[in-house]
């Protein structure tokens, strides 16, 4: 059985979504975020209405 390990750097919208899609496809995913939380910009996008 083949397995793929993926390291995603950055927990913004792009990295977070890429990590989800890769995990759903069966990859073993590690997400690194340098900030205190993931999706920080998304949480303030659209006056908070995006979350
Ligand atoms: C105030 C504001 C309002 C917005 N409103 C809207 C809106 O209404 N509608 C809309 O469509 N878009 C909106 N946007 C734009 C939207 O938020 C961005 O397009 C989107 O967040 C971009 O996602 P990204 O993953 O490319 O980058 P980012 O969200 O910037 O994510 C990158 C992540 O990578 C991390 N990172 C960077 N370098 C490293 C490293 N070396 N190691 C680990 N982590 C790292 C950062 O900390 C960050 O969390 C808004 C943006 C802002 C600032």
Separation of alpha carbons 43 and 7, rounded Å: 23
Please tell me the total number of residues recorded for the chain in this structure: 51
Query: Which residues sit opposite 29 in a β-bridge?
Result: 6
Of ligand 1's listed atoms, the one at least distance from the Cα of 12 is 31
Q: Rounded to an integer, what distance in angstroms lies between the CA atom of residue 37 and that of residue 33? A: 7
Q: What is the pTM of this model?
A: 0.85
Which pLDDT value is given to residue 48?
Answer: 58
- Residues lining ligand 1, CB < 6 A? 9-15, 32-35, 40-42, 44-46
Q: Which residue has the higher pLDDT, 40 or 45?
A: 40
- The per-residue pLDDT for 15 is 98
Residue 15 CA, closest ligand 1 atom number: 25
CB 41 within 8 A of CB 50: no
- What's the rounded Cα separation, in Å, for the pair 50 and 45? 6
For the chain, what is the domain count? 1
pLDDT at 38: 94
**pLDDT digits over 4-39, tens only?**
999 999 999 999 999 999 999 999 999 999 999 999
pLDDT given for residue 2 in this prediction: 66
Range of the domain at 21: 5-48
């Amino acid at each position: 059985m083949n397995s793929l390990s993926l390291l995603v750097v950055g927990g913004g919208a792009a990295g977070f979504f890429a990590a989800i899609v890769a995990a759903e496809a069966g990859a073993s995913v590690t997400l690194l975020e340098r900030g205190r939380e993931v999706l920080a910009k998304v949480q303030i996008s659209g006056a908070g209405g995006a979350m």
